[in-house]
A and B are shown apart, each in its own frame.
Chain A
Amino acid sequence: MLSLDKFPLGCKGVVDSLELSDEAFRRVAAFGLIPGSRFSLSRRAPFGGPLVLEVGCTRFLLRRSLARFIQVKVAE
């Protein structure tokens, strides 16, 4: 298990847990990132910029400062 900001680029994973406030959880969940959901990490902006994640048909930006609090597993 590792935090999302350390997740390898181009891999698929499964969300394990989100250590977020209610409000942040709502925002993240609105993009489909909830415990058990599958995602892939397709890009990482240079200079510590945001990540690009894909959940289902949805692609979105997520800042690394938030990704730190999301625990994930690499999916086989």
Chain B
Amino acid sequence: MKRFALIGLPNTGKSTLFNRLTGMSQRVGNWPGLTVDLTSARVLLGGSMVELVDLPGVNDLTGYTDDEAVVRDVLMSTAFDAVVLVLNAAQLDRQLPLAMQILASGLPAVVVLNMADEARLMGIKLDVDALQHKLGVSVALVSAKRMEGWPRLMDMLNRQASGTEPAVHAQLDKVPETQEAIALAHACLQGVWSLPPVLPVGQTEKVDAWLMHPWLGLPLFFGFMALLFNLTYQIGTPLQDLVGSGLDWFKEAALGHWLAPLPAIVQSLLLDGIWQGVSTVLTFAPILFVFFILMAMVEDSGYLARAAYLTDAFMARLGLDGRGFVMQLMGFGCNVPAILGTRVMRERKQRLLTMLIIPFSLCSARLQVVVFFSGILFRPQQAPWVLLLLYLLSFAVAIFTAWVFKHRYRGNEAFLLELPPYRLPGLRHMLIRATGEVRAFLELASSFILMGVVLVWLVSHIPAGHDKTLADMLGSVMAPVLDPIGIRHELAVALLVGFVAKEILLGGLAVIYGVPEAGLGAALLHHLDWASAMSFLIFTLIYVPCLSTVAAIRRESKSRAFTALSVVWSVLLAWVIAFVFYQGVHALR
């Protein structure tokens, strides 16, 4: 099988072209030794099967950004039959140097000049045949979004794929340095490509006058975020409920009957353990899907870069970049998609720092717990203020975490970001992308979460003498850490359940006190004093949001050590804050 790589600067339409060429057959997957996933797919070109790989965007083959290192690694370790260079036809002045470097590396290449539609609107003069002649490789001018220029493109790709030369590794030592590549590119563009003396003023500038307005910009940003957030849940939550009740129905109507002949303990393992895990994972799918569609809209339309512009002054002080803020906000709905969404940040350290703070965003599942507790612990007039305080606490904890770790995960100060013209996102592109993301997450998370759920099941079912289970023992063993924060021993299991998912925490509490969920409030008031209940609530808000978030962090960071750090840090912080609170209340009394 042959192998082609798509290479180009960020935002040139590589993924759009990739989707056009491959459709739904693509796979997001691990490459050995890489810290990012690559998307690849098989297509039939020129009578042979070709594996097409969508590489991350790079500016310069000699650079040291994380993505540049990834692309160099891939080009050195893997032989390619061809490189498909994707360049923005309107920006050849800054994009052609990369082409010069690729050509010098000895890789067979074809050049796709994308965004023909935008170049035309800008009034750019371009002689494709003359450029092809000067570069010495085939060039096609296309618009991947509108599928313009397709016959010539397909002809070029088919011809390239029907060659009989063996695949080659890039000779990176032959690649010219930045300045030399720029000089070569400018010489090449002489008389072939030129900008008009005055660029036409487009719609983008008019829209930006509002969206990037010195003092209207931020309120509009928060308005959009609120809208985005609402849309995610207005559309996602009913879908989630639907999937949830579908799964419950299946459990009641079918699974229960099929498993009835089995011994009770096996039934319990299958239903309360494994099936519980499967449902937890599956109910995330609709929210993730909706989130990815909306995020793709925000990113592809070009608004994410404006959001970065508006929030960068604040975020830079925390050692983050402006796009992290958007993810942090989305985390208030659900941490899982927010973690997966950090992928727009291309610098690994920035991504890690953002992933470290997102779990402190008080997500909707934890909100349920908060609302329940504040309902029984406070008078109705006080409850909203308590809620507000807890939201502020979650922000404060996130900011504190960023402040503590910003030196360890220091991003590069040389942060530049293209501000693309506003573009209408392609529906097909968004659907393909969202489906791929959800599938990739489910694949990883299912095994991970299943393991966790089964583990919790074992702990709460394995007998440990005197009709007690391991879970009861856990409470006694954990006493030295639980007592100082006033959390009663029987609640150790509840914290374990909450570790799996906060959605099942209240149900878990009801089981512990042997009451139906409706009677839980009274039972809690009976068993817990006020300070101890608040301490439990604070701990619940700050420690690990859920196993799915841990799975998402594991998937995105590809590092066990980092995942462990994130879990340990949040538990530690939760303990310290609950300790300060509980002991503080006691000292005051």
Contacts and interface: CB of A to CB of B under 8 A. Distances in A.
A43 to B, nearest CB: 6
Contacts of A30: 9, 59-60, 63, 94, 416
A49 B417 CA distance: 13
Contacts of B212: 43, 45, 52
Interface string A39-60: 0000101111110100111111
A50 B90 CA distance: 24
Contacts of B310: 45, 49
Contacts of A57: 90-91, 122, 124, 195, 199
A76 interface: no
Interface string A56-74: 1111111101100000000
Interface residues of A, number: 31
Contacts of B179: 29, 34
B376 interface: no
B413 interface: yes
Contact of B419 (A26, A32, A52): A52
Please report whether the interface of chain A is mostly helix, strand, loop or mixed according to DSSP: mixed
A70 to B, nearest CB: 11
A61 B417 contact: yes
A47 B63 CA distance: 31
B419 A61 contact: yes
Given A26-B60, A47-B314, A60 B309 contact: no
Contacts of A34: 179, 182
Contacts of A60: 416-419
B416 A27 contact: yes
A24 interface: yes
A20 B182 CA distance: 17
B414 A45 contact: no
Interface of B: 9, 59-60, 62-65, 90-91, 93-94, 122, 124, 178-179, 182, 195, 199, 208, 212, 214-215, 305, 308-310, 312-314, 316, 412-421
8 contacts: A26-B59, A26-B64, A45-B212, A52-B419, A57-B124, A57-B195, A60-B418, A66-B414
Interface of A: 20, 23-32, 34, 43, 45-50, 52, 55-63, 65-66
